[in-house]
Amino acid sequence: MIALGLVAALLVSVDPGALAITTGQCNGSDLVVRMTNDGPEPIYADAFLEAPAALHLPRKMISSWLPPGYTRSVPVAVRAAPGTPAGVYHVRVSGRDVPVTVRAPDPSADLMRLASRVSASSARAGSGACAAIDGDPATMWNDGTGKRWPDWWQMSWDRAQVVGRVEVATTAVWGLRDWDVQVLGAGGWSTVASVRGNTAVRNLAIFPSETTKSLRIVTLAGNTVNDQSRLVEVIVSAPYPQRHG
């Protein structure tokens, strides 16, 4: 943790003191900015964030009303777009440096980490497209147009990838019932797997291998009157090699 100094009654700190991230829309990491009122009176406090053009921050300022002795912790996602040159960059939080080491994903990384773009037809606040591949079962992609079907969630790569398995995790209550898996080819989108009547939390679709730069899940129905698209986790991979003998 880097302590950023005491200004009047305000103490600002950031954790961790350095980050290492890989390029990609969903491959960054969070800095946690903490603002503490160390004085006897309530204060209105600001923390300011700066970053070079190579890094993306979702906000440039954090403002909060702080009662005496109160600490507010705010996660701030730090991202680097695909193609960002490897190196050490610096995020400044209220005047102090936090070094951020950027590199490209390892070529052997899974297809989620290699994705250059992840998008969706719509999303609710705090439930964006990246939440479906963040490995956190407490987050999900949730569409922003409840009861209107279809919706879609899409993953794209800069280079063509071989795919043959798509595992979808949805919610135990009000989860997805019907969806299609589609890949993008020279003639447009084609359906390679369809799921109907699902009631399970996890569902694995296996299909003949396809080489593509984009894959999407087109959601068609959920298991509730208040239908919404809910993707907790999506795992895309190549077909497992067959064993002989």
State which fold the 111-237 domain adopts: Jelly Rolls (2.60.120)
Task: Please give the residue that has the higher pLDDT: either 226 or 175.
Answer: 175
Q: Is 131 helix (H, G, I), strand (E, B) or coil?
A: helix
pLDDT of residue 146: 79
User: What local confidence, expressed as pLDDT, does residue 166 receive?
Assistant: 98
* Tokens representing residue 166 in the block: 């798509």
Pairing state between β 96-103 and 19-22: parallel
3-class SS of residue 102: strand
Sheet containing 19-22: give its strands across.
Answer: 19-22, 96-103, 87-93, 43-50, 61-66
Mean residue pLDDT across the chain: 92
Dihedral sign for Cα atoms in the order 129, 131, 135, 140: negative
**Four-way CATH pick for 2-103: 2.60.40.10, 3.40.50.720, 2.60.120.620, 3.40.50.300:** 2.60.40.10
Least confidently predicted of 78-82, 99-103, 138-142, 146-150: 146-150
- Residue among 82, 90, 56, 64 nearest 12 (CA): 64
Write out pLDDT tens, residues 86-140: 999 999 999 889 999 999 998 888 999 999 999 999 999 989 999 999 999 999 9
Residue ranges covered by each domain of the chain: 2-103, 111-237
User: What strands, in cross-sheet order, belong to the sheet with 55-56?
Assistant: 2-7, 10-15, 24-37, 71-80, 55-56
Distances (CA, A) of 101 to 10, 21, 86, 213, 235: 29, 6, 8, 28, 27
- Distance between CA atoms of 210 and 3, rounded to whole angstroms? 51
What is the reported pTM? 0.84
Compute the chain's Rg from CA coordinates. Answer: 21
Q: What is the pLDDT of residues 162-219, one digit of tens each?
A: 999 999 999 998 999 999 999 999 999 999 999 999 999 999 999 999 999 999 999 9
pLDDT at 2: 47
